């Protein structure tokens, strides 16, 4: 008789990890996140999974136990917001255990109280440089979990994007690790978004409100027209180069105002991936930044994944945050497959 499995997804966001689990047949009963904008995409795309708008600091052990119900096998997933651990947010370090740096301590608190069978965590690679991450690992090992943690390349698991992430897997039932890469060759930008409707800057597709692009100023329109795929602002005529880049301090930032390349994976997407000036987010051949839908697809969300209700308003800032912060769905699928294979091997023993 198959044992009943349930997962609770902390910091669930728009549902990237949950959707990956769902596609692999691992049931997710609930997702928890503080951001109210996550509710619609999470619930609209993930079957019976409930969305709870809660601050993780206030979530109790009894609440998590109640969500798991009578499940025989319990999986606790948590992808704490990565901004505190990024190289651009060192100011957060002073927050200590009581601020945003402390979110992993609250994850550990819930893990200790619930003692799920499997725990998984995903974050930026630089989380490994910080004490909170090592404290988190040590707390799980002290509880008797076997812990595996390595930086993985999402493009090796079908995500059409160069997105390196720290993945942690921990089990009470023995050794666990990530499955081998599923893709020898990464998916390319062209394979992912090459067939979508052509758009101009500031235009929206009539049948998909998410396939919409940000406007460009006259100067930025000139800039993207002279930008080549894979190139930088250093290729531009001098009169188009921004003052901040002409300065000595700006010469070390070639990764802005760039176009993607058709035959390579996308660069790492951020919460501002809809803006041409925010990174290498220019379309490979159309004179615009990528659309929100293209960004979602490059995060391996399905083409029809709904982020706003019918008739809902498109906010680049809000949707950019949801998409850029998401766990890529196909990375979620690989994590789910890793857990499923581990649990199957445990059951066979």
Kindly state whether residues 109 and 46 are assigned to the same domain.
yes
Can you name the residues that pair with 164 across neighbouring β-strands?
153
Structure confidence at residue 112 (pLDDT): 97
Kindly state whether residues 29 and 178 are assigned to the same domain.
yes
Structure confidence at residue 232 (pLDDT): 82
Kindly state whether residues 164 and 213 are assigned to the same domain.
no
Residue range(s) defining the domain that contains residue 51: 5-183+328-348
Kindly state whether residues 23 and 167 are assigned to the same domain.
yes
Residues 6+ apart with CB under 8 A from 299: 16, 159, 161, 269, 323, 324, 326, 328, 329
Kindly state whether residues 205 and 305 are assigned to the same domain.
yes
Of 49, 18, 51, residue with least CA distance to 33: 51
Count CB atoms within 10 A of the CB of residue 272.
17
- Find the range with the poorest average confidence among 83-87, 128-132, 314-318: 83-87
Predicted confidence (pLDDT) at residue 60 exceeds the cutoff of 80: yes
Domain containing 297 — which CATH number?
3.90.120.10
Take residue 6 and report the two structure tokens written for it.
């349930």
Kindly state whether residues 215 and 336 are assigned to the same domain.
no
3-state secondary structure of 197: coil
Predicted confidence (pLDDT) at residue 44 exceeds the cutoff of 60: yes
Predicted confidence (pLDDT) at residue 64 exceeds the cutoff of 90: yes
Rounded CA separation 79/325 (Å): 10
Kindly state whether residues 209 and 304 are assigned to the same domain.
yes
Predicted confidence (pLDDT) at residue 144 exceeds the cutoff of 90: yes
Band of the pLDDT at 14, cuts 50, 70, 90? very high
Kindly state whether residues 217 and 287 are assigned to the same domain.
yes
Kindly state whether residues 153 and 195 are assigned to the same domain.
no
Kindly state whether residues 100 and 193 are assigned to the same domain.
no
Predicted confidence (pLDDT) at residue 247 exceeds the cutoff of 70: no
Domain containing 69 — which CATH number?
3.40.50.150
Kindly state whether residues 105 and 204 are assigned to the same domain.
no
In total, how many domains does the chain have?
2
Tell me the Ramachandran region of residue 220: left when phi exceeds 0, alpha when psi lies from -120 to 50, beta otherwise.
alpha
Asked if 274 and 291 count as a contact pair (C-beta separation under 8 A), the reply is yes
Q: Indicate which residues carry an active-site annotation.
A: 82
Band of the pLDDT at 92, cuts 50, 70, 90? very low
Query: Which whole number is the average pLDDT over 113-117?
Result: 98
Band of the pLDDT at 233, cuts 50, 70, 90? confident
Structure confidence at residue 325 (pLDDT): 94
Query: Which whole number is the average pLDDT over 20-25?
Result: 97
Q: How many alpha carbons fall within 13 Å on the CB side of residue 166?
A: 22
**pTM (2 d.p.):** 0.93
Rounded CA separation 103/53 (Å): 16
Q: What is the pLDDT of residues 276-314, one digit of tens each?
A: 999 899 999 999 999 999 999 999 999 999 999 999 999
Kindly state whether residues 207 and 264 are assigned to the same domain.
yes
């Amino acid at each position: 008789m198959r044992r009943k499995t349930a997962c609770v997804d902390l910091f669930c966001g728009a549902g990237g990890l949950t959707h990956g689990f769902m596609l692999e047949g691992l049931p997710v009963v609930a997702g928890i996140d503080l951001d109210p904008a996550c509710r619609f995409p999470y619930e609209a795309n993930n079957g019976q999974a409930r969305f709870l708008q809660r601050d993780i600091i206030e979530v109790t052990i009894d609440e998590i136990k109640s969500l798991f119900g009578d499940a025989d096998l319990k999986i606790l997933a948590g992808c704490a917001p990565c901004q505190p651990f990024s190289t651009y947010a060192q100011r957060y370090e002073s927050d200590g255990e009581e601020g945003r740096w402390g979110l992993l301590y609250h994850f550990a608190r819930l893990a200790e109280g619930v003692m799920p069978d499997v725990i998984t965590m995903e974050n930026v690679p630089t989380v490994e440089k910080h004490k909170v991450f090592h404290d988190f690992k040590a707390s799980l090992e002290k509880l008797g979990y076997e812990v595996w943690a390595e930086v993985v390349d999402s493009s090796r698991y079908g995500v059409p994007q160069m997105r390196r992430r720290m993945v942690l897997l921990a089990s009470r039932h023995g050794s666990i690790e990530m499955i081998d890469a599923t893709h020898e060759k990464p998916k390319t930008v062209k394979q992912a978004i090459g067939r979508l409707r052509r758009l101009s800057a500031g235009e929206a597709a009539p049948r998909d409100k998410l396939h919409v692009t940000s406007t460009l100023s006259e100067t930025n329109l000139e800039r993207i027209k002279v930008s080549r795929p894979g190139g930088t602002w250093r290729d531009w005529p001098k009169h188009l180069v921004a003052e901040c880049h002409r300065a000595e301090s700006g010469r070390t930032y070639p990764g802005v105002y760039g176009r993607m390349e058709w035959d390579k994976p996308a660069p790492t997407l951020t919460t501002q991936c809809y803006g041409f000036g925010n990174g290498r987010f220019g379309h490979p051949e159309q004179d615009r930044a990528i659309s929100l839908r293209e960004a979602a697809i490059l995060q391996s969300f399905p083409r029809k994944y709904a982020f706003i209700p019918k008739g809902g308003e498109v906010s680049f800032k809000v949707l950019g945050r949801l998409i850029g912060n998401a766990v890529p769905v196909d990375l979620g699928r690989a994590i789910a497959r890793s857990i499923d294979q581990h649990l199957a091997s445990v059951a066979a023993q």
